[in-house]
Each structure stands twice: as C-alpha cells, then as structure tokens.
Structure 1
Amino acid sequence: GSDKALLIDTGAVADSTQMPLAKKVLELLPDKDKAKIPLLVVHTHGHLDHRAGDSQFASFPSVKVVPADLEAVRAFFAFDNWPDGIAQVELGGRTIDVIPTPGHHPAHVAFYDRRTGILFSGDFLMPARLTMEDSAAYHASAVRVVNFVQTRPLTHILGGHIELDTAGHAYGMGSHYHPNEHRLELSKEDLLALPAALKGFNGFYARYPSFILSNPRHNLAALAISAVALLIFIVWAVRRLLRRHRRSTP
C-alpha cells in the first residue's frame, strides 16, 4: 500500500546469516517522506516454520510484528466473535481481508488481497498434506472461506508449502528433493471441493488431486493400537509354542 507494507509469515529460519530475510525485505520497501514505509508482519498461524524469522525484525522501530497466538490475533485484528467475522488491514489504498481459518491451528487465518484477488491460505489449503488439529473447526473454516469468495474474484490460492508432485503423490516427510513438483497456486475449484472432502473425511487419510487430508493424532493412535495388537499376538504365539514344546518333551 501507499502507507505501509505487509509481510505474511517469516519462514523457518531464524539465523540471518543463513537467510537474511529482514535485510532483503527492508531493502525492497519503497521510500516515503525520505524514509522507508512502515512494515507490518503477520502470520497465517503460529507453527514455528511460519514465524521463526520474527526475531530478525525485532530491532527495527518501523516494523510491527503481530504475535501468532490466538489472544494476540483476536486483539490486533479486533475479532470480537472469533472465529466469525472478517477483519481488514488497511495499507493505504489497498485493503487486505483477514479470514479466520482454525482447524490446522487454533489461531490460523487466511489473507485476501482485494487488489490482486489472491488468497494467501497458509497451511489451510495448499498442494500438500492438510493436517488437522480440529476437524469440525477445519470444515467450518472451509465453508467460511467458500462463502467469502462466492462474491469476490479469486485469481490464485497461495499456500505455505508444496508436498505433492504433479500426480498428487506426497513426497516423504522432511524431503528436500521434489522432482516433478506440483505448482504452488491452487484454484477456486480446489477450494470449492474442500468442504465436501472434509465432511466425508474418514478421520485418518484421504488423497485428492491437489491435496491430502490427514489427521496425525488419529493416525498415531491407530498405529499404537496396531503395535499393541501385534505385541499381544506375538506373546500369545510364543506362549502357545512353549506349551506345545513342553507337551512334546518326554
């Protein structure tokens, strides 16, 4: 905007010698009245890989960093009835809408740029695993965003990660090698498909062309139950084998 700039998420690297994020961003800011325009730093949510770079901006008086916890998000954007309602950030001739999207994280929000029609969706919607902390909240968020874009132009949806290849298959967790990587931007059709996908979710894992639904807690619980069942079976089998051995011994 003409009065201030907005940075959404600061990434996973805190060390400025490895990733000089603050230095580069501040260099890009335009001048106004012989000084750089102020910078507002916000987050889609509070997971560390989206806010680790916050510390790089701490020493700059012209930078305001909004904490990523729910209390701070509600207070700064003036959400009186979270997660209902839409907030706005005025940058000077440019308005950004802030949409509550909890489900992946309790304080997750998405940002809609009215000028470009781009929705910055964070980890709410992206070509990756959509991991949910609260499935009911996630579904409500999907419905909320769909209702929001029905009367607004939507050019692209830009999420926080790419974890799928062009065929929709997920790379290994933590992989840094992504051959045939899916493009970052998703479409309005991908968003419109999300509420139904979440409503019909089996609670564990489901793959769609542009995203994967996953509930890590449920998956971990299922794995633990399977491991316990396997252990019980092994103990039972060993005890049965020992009994047979004793009976066959003269």
Structure 2
Amino acid sequence: MPQAQTINPTFSGNGNPDLGYNPPGVRNTDSAVPLHRKEPVTHDYNCEGPAPGKLAFRWIYGSNVAAKNRDPRVQVMQYNEDTFVLRQNVCVHWEAPFTYLLFGNQSALLIDSGATADAQHYPLRETIDAIITRWGQARGRSKLPLTVALTSGEDVAQNQGLAQFAGRPDTTIVPKPFDVMKRHYGFRKSWPSSKGAIDLGDRVIEVIPTPGTHKDGVTFYDPYCNFLFTGDLLFPGRINVSNDGDYIASLERLKAFAARQSVRWVLGGHIDMMFVPGKFYPRFATYKPYERVLQLTPDLIEEALQYAREVAGRDMMLIRPDFVLFNGVSPDQRTRVWPEGVPNIDPPHPF
C-alpha cells in the first residue's frame, strides 16, 4: 500500500496564501493539480478560522409552468474543495430542498436526500456518485465510503431520496425510525441532552439533537467550515413548530453551542423568504425569482429563540424579516397584522 501524502494547505503548493498568484479565497486547495493522483492525499483540515468558500451566486428559481422547465434537476454549488451544496429543482418539487455533501480523508457525508425518490426525475445518487468519483481522482482515492444522514426522518421533503441509495456499495444509511436513529448515534438514553459524531477522517461532524419542528430533528455542525446544518429547525422560510417547548429548548441548546463554537453560517433545508423583509412564497409555488439567500447569520438563533418564546402556548403565526413562525396553525395561515419593526415592502411583480 502506498503511503498517504500529507500536505498542509496553508504552506504548500497553491495553498500558500503568501504567494502573489494565490488570492485569499483560494486556500485549502492542495489537490487541485494534478487531477489524477497515483498516491492518496491526506488533507489537513486544521486551519485558523473557517475554511474559505463562497455562496455568492443565484439559485435556479423555477418556472411558472413547471412542466416546461429545462433547468438541471439537481443544481450543484461547490463551496470549497471538500464541501458541496446541492438543491433540488423547484419544478421537480416545490420545496426545492437543499442537501449537503462533505468530504474527509476517509469518507463522505450526505446530509439530507431531497423530496423525490424517483431517480429519473431527481438524479441525486447519480450526481453524488459523479462528484465522489471526481473528488477521488483528485485525491488519489479510488474508494470512498459514504454516509447518508437526515436532519429528520419525519421530514418528507428531506427523506425521499434515501431510496436511491439502498443497496449502494460502501454506504451507511442512518436509519429513519426514531429509536433506531437514536441508537445509531448513541442517544438512546440521553436524548436530547447529549451529542453524537460522524468522523469523516480528520473532519468530525457533530450531531446535536434539536427536536421541535420534528420530534427526531438533529442539527449537524462542521468545524471545518463552521457551518450549522439545521434542516427545518431554522431556515429562511415558513417554520412549522410542532412542539414549542422542544423548539425553545433546541434553540437554547444551539445558542449555547454557538457561544462555545465559531459558527459562520446557519444553513437550513429550504428557502421560502423573498429578499424583501417578512415576505415569503406560498406553498406549491414553482417560480421564485426573488428569493432571499440561503445562509443565515448565527445571531438569528437568538432572534428565533426570542420569538419562539413569544408564540409559546399560543396558536399564531409570527412574521420576522428572515423567517416566519407557525405555531399550532396551518402553514397556509395568513394575517393582516404586520409586525412592528419589520418594513412592509411590496416585492416586484414577476410578470
């Protein structure tokens, strides 16, 4: 067996930030050249601050007539060399859920699996396989195990694509049933107070129980990019609270966690909000040209906690600039009362 080649992304090759041809945003790219390596690369996932990357671009936003849409069924955005953000086409499923693919030295992790099981309409596995193959070529690794984990096994918009990975070689699927999932992470007797972990090889992803929108909800933390992957718990959209006591406790847990750890972005499972404060797309919309960006700043954990306490024990919806809480009411609930402190701006008409 050849010895793994250890490369420090900060001080070697095109990963040296002191070299004039290497701008600050292009760091931790030790496997960019050559593409086909004969020896495996061991990447150094220790770096000061979050690993560089970029989310500054526009997501595909669908069509008025979904059947006529010709955009890719899965949109892929490479945040950095080891981190990918994927989104299901809104015309394939109106919730247009996000999934996340993370690489370590020994394995890969897919967080969530989208809303469609049919690979012909939503070729998630084919897309993931292609990314893993190319990544393996760049890193000199012909075989890379994959773990598929969910922010919630209850969430239909995030668990349907799981069927595409059944029978895939070298693949671990975290079980959907609540009790089995808890046993898998070691939560069986300590839910929701403890934490679990998924070790990808020098990149250890923390698993934090966060019920509240779903009884089996979990959040994943990546210390390499400093991301919190929150699924349905906190995202720029219509947050349907199923148990307000659990929801508040989970946000308290995340707030305490973020106070101890560096968090750059909170990345949820969907986008419903428009770029104007407090306005959002209704359910089943397949044309969303004025979406807000995906990423939330970590201070919004505290804001969500503040307003979760306000709606606790009350059947109501509450509008904030970056999210809307629905507690004990239909996700189609409307209100004529506009919240104080939120600018009431009409979004442009798309036609």
- Sort the TM-score into its range (normalised by shorter chain): 0.7 to 0.9
Spell out the pairing of 1:192-231 with structure 2 (5 A cutoff).
192-201=302-311, 202-215=314-327, 217-219=328-330
What's 2:224 paired with?
A: 115
One-letter identity of the residue aligned with 2:317: Y
Q: Structure 1-normalised TM-score?
A: 0.84
Q: Deviations over 1:27-81 (max 9, x none)?
A: 2114388632000000000211101111111121211111223112211110131
Gaps of 5+ in 2: 1-103, 335-351
Counterpart among 211, 214, 217 of residue 102 in structure 1: 211
Task: Report the RMSD for the aligned CA atoms in angstroms.
Answer: 1.8
Query: How far apart are the structure 2 equivalents of 1:212 and 1:69?
Result: 29
Counterpart among 172, 184, 187 of residue 64 in structure 1: 172
- Are 1:17 and 2:132 matched, yes or no? no
Query: How far apart are the structure 1 equivalents of 2:174 and 2:140?
Result: 25
SS of equivalent residue, structure 2 residue 230: strand
What's 2:101 paired with?
A: none
Using the TM superposition, name which of 42-51 and 68-77 deviates more.
68-77
SS of equivalent residue, structure 1 residue 2: coil
- Are 1:154 and 2:263 matched, yes or no? yes
Q: Please list every run of at least 4 consecutive aligned residues from structure 1 whose deviation after the TM superposition is greater than 2 angstroms.
A: 30-36, 217-220
One-letter identity of the residue aligned with 1:87: G
**Any conservation in 2 of the 1:117–1:154 contact (CA below 8 Å)?**
yes
Counterpart among 281, 292, 295 of residue 182 in structure 1: 292
Query: How far apart are the structure 2 equivalents of 1:209 and 1:177?
Result: 21
Using the TM superposition, name which of 37-46 and 25-34 deviates more.
25-34
Q: Give the deviation of 1:132 after TM superposition.
A: 1.0
Counterpart among 44, 50, 58 of residue 151 in structure 2: 44
**Any conservation in 1 of the 2:226–2:265 contact (CA below 8 Å)?**
yes
Q: Structure 2-normalised TM-score?
A: 0.60
Query: How far apart are the structure 2 equivalents of 1:83 and 1:141?
Result: 9
Query: How far apart are the structure 2 equivalents of 1:5 and 1:190?
Result: 29
- Are 1:8 and 2:111 matched, yes or no? yes
Q: Give the deviation of 1:198 after TM superposition.
A: 0.6
Query: How far apart are the structure 2 equivalents of 1:161 and 1:57?
Result: 22
Q: Give the deviation of 1:219 after TM superposition.
A: 4.5
One-letter identity of the residue aligned with 2:108: A
Q: State, as a whole percentage, how many aligned pairs show the same letter.
A: 32
Query: How far apart are the structure 2 equivalents of 1:159 and 1:97?
Result: 16
Query: How far apart are the structure 2 equivalents of 1:60 and 1:219?
Result: 38
One-letter identity of the residue aligned with 2:242: E
One-letter identity of the residue aligned with 2:120: T
SS of equivalent residue, structure 1 residue 45: coil
One-letter identity of the residue aligned with 1:35: S
Q: Deviations over 1:195-226 (max 9, x none)?
A: 111111143100011110002x4449x99xxx
SS of equivalent residue, structure 1 residue 36: coil
What's 1:75 paired with?
A: 183
One-letter identity of the residue aligned with 2:252: V
SS of equivalent residue, structure 1 residue 121: strand
Q: Deviations over 1:94-144 (max 9, x none)?
A: 010111110111100010001110111100000001101111000000000
Q: Give the deviation of 1:177 after TM superposition.
A: 1.2
Q: Give the deviation of 1:85 after TM superposition.
A: 1.1
SS of equivalent residue, structure 1 residue 35: coil
**Any conservation in 2 of the 1:204–1:219 contact (CA below 8 Å)?**
no
**Any conservation in 2 of the 1:127–1:159 contact (CA below 8 Å)?**
yes
What's 2:60 paired with?
A: none
